[in-house]
A and B are shown apart, each in its own frame.
Chain A
């Protein structure tokens, strides 16, 4: 039977880091160097895309919970995770795509939200689960005004909508809440 060490912490930020086996801690740290290629300033850990990191028979297994199921960057992210782990003496890592737990924008860390805004993307608002979110008055990431309106529900990537700010007269993009 495979020897398995599991870290079931849903919260990727290292509050329980002292409890993690050293290999798994090194793996989490390596994962913080992998960015979403469409938002290069934010790591996949800050986006909450890492569901679990486990050690199975001395190899690392990463469960990746996708932001959008149809995200074309997924295959690339999987490769980059493997490369980042290999660079830390963890070759032969496996990266699974999982929907347990399903990714939601609530999984983005505070640091991640801050970096999204710095990148020029308004962080996601209320998910309104079961209902329809109101995308008007999304706060502008450039001037913080709520005097904004929705221009297009769809944008340059699956996760973004396009808005216009009547205060600073700029168009901006918003990470849609899902």
Chain B
């Protein structure tokens, strides 16, 4: 299969697929980054205040890099894409829209999400669209520190007191169906897989399950049985939490789209 060397060389259903994929990844990053930033000044300990603020900065920076690539593919500029869309125009999975909730849910969501990103970025680092392969290589090397951070907390809280274990199990029961929704297939997935750009979502989901299962087992947590994935986010059907999130995120932009800040 021939490599696609530049953004300009993309066309047809492959280009549409790449645009869809970039929106999915960018919007996931933007929303989880925003949710992480809600811990700035509020985390249980100073190190975690710094960790979640740093991860927020990473995720929002990654969203910006994806938006920049979308702009090169003919979409609007990064600020317009981040702030100037209606809720139904976003392509994030419901997992990242949910409120930050308690510390257990924050840790569990972040761990499940980071693992999905690691799997996807690893696949994309070897993909046939060179600009995305290079960006994925770069971002994956930053994300490994999120994984290390998440793993430590999963084990620490999963195996600590009965109370922390119960809170973690409840958080996993809540988050898992939403995490499965990260792999919601879209109409663009087949062309992307045919072009050697992104493997089918089902393959990524299997890899993700293999990655998270041992850590969850080590943490003494049980994966909820036969849960149904929460789909809809990839086609713009979001829980009410996204509208609430965007009300805050877009507040300044909606007052004055040209404001310098």
Contact = CB atoms under 8 A, between A and B. Distances in A.
Contact of B137 (A68, A102, A132, A162): A102
Contact of B61 (A68, A99, A162): A68
Contacts of B58: 68-70, 158
B150 to A, nearest CB: 10
B163 to A, nearest CB: 25
Contacts of B246: none
Given A72-B57, A154-B50, A154-B55, A99 B135 contact: yes
Contacts of A132: 144, 147-148
B138 A99 contact: yes
Contacts of A162: 47
Most buried by A among B54, B68, B137: B54
A71 B61 contact: yes
B195 interface: no
Contacts of A72: 57
A178 to B, nearest CB: 4
Interface residues of A, number: 29
A100 interface: yes
Contacts of B142: 68-70, 158, 178
B138 A102 contact: yes
A155 interface: yes
B145 A99 contact: no
B51 interface: yes
B80 to A, nearest CB: 18
B194 interface: no
A64 to B, nearest CB: 13
B64 interface: yes
A99 B64 CA distance: 13
Contacts of B31: none
Contacts of A156: 50
Given A70-B62, A132-B148, A152-B51, A102 B57 contact: no
A69 B60 CA distance: 9
A132 B140 CA distance: 11
B174 interface: no
A18 interface: no
Contacts of B64: 69-70
A58 B147 CA distance: 46
A154 B149 contact: yes
Nearest to B46: A152
B50 A155 contact: yes
B96 interface: no
Contacts of A146: none
Interface string A164-178: 000000000000101
A158 B147 contact: no
A154 B68 contact: no
Contacts of B57: 70, 72, 158
A16 to B, nearest CB: 24
Contacts of A100: 130-131, 134
B141 interface: yes
Contacts of A161: 145
Interface of A: 68-72, 97, 99-104, 127, 129-130, 132-133, 135, 151-156, 158, 161-162, 176, 178
6 contacts: A68-B61, A69-B138, A99-B131, A132-B148, A154-B54, A162-B47
Interface of B: 47, 50-51, 53-55, 57-62, 64-65, 68, 122, 130-131, 134-135, 137-139, 141-142, 144-145, 147-149
In order of increasing CB-CB distance, the 3 nearest A-B pairs are A70-B61, A102-B138, A154-B54
Given A100-B134, A132-B144, A158-B54, 20 more contacts: A69-B62, A69-B138, A70-B57, A70-B58, A70-B64, A71-B61, A97-B68, A99-B135, A102-B137, A102-B141, A129-B141, A130-B122, A152-B50, A152-B51, A153-B51, A154-B50, A154-B149, A155-B54, A158-B57, A158-B142
